[in-house]
Amino acid sequence: MNESLKLENQLCFRLYTASRLITQAYHPLLGRWGLTYPQYLVLMVLWEEDDQKVNDIARRLFLETNTVTPLLKRMEASSLLSRGRNSSGDARQVIVSLTDKGRALQGELKNVPEAIGSAVMCNSISAETAPMLYKMLDDMIEKLSRE
């Protein structure tokens, strides 16, 4: 058999598996608040800067707007955010804003990054090596997003 076709020689399989398992590790941490991992990502984007266009949120998460829109609708139904038309510019643009409930979750979820960090730390990933891993993944994401 061609070695390059073996599953254990596939970078994409390792990345896929690690991503799936990390996302799975978030489940008990976010489930208490009824949040999914993608909803948590949206909250993080809005905690950094509130009142953003749907397109900007989608771009930041490397997702299509047709993927983000149903997610935002569910979050709005849970009173985590509100969606409204842009009154100062293009009225077709939808602006997403945190509600008080969505803002309050920032404090309630402040320990999640540390818990996930502890979950992924291992022999080859530590506080010292993590920045290098981030850099390698950022470089890969940048290259792939240009293609």
Confidence class for position 93, pLDDT limits 50, 70, 90: confident
Domain ranges of the chain: 37-110
Average confidence score pLDDT of the chain: 94
> Taking a C-beta distance cutoff of 8 angstroms, is the pair 27, 17 a contact?
no
pLDDT tens per residue across span 9-64: 999 999 999 999 999 999 999 999 999 999 999 999 999 999 999 999 999 999 99
Q: What is the mean pLDDT of residues 61-90?
A: 91
Angle at alpha carbon of residue 106, lines to 105 and 110, rounded to 5°: 115
Beta pairing partners, 138:
none
37-110, what's its fold?
Arc Repressor Mutant, subunit A (1.10.10)
DSSP 26: H
pLDDT band at 85 (very low <50, low <70, confident <90, very high): confident
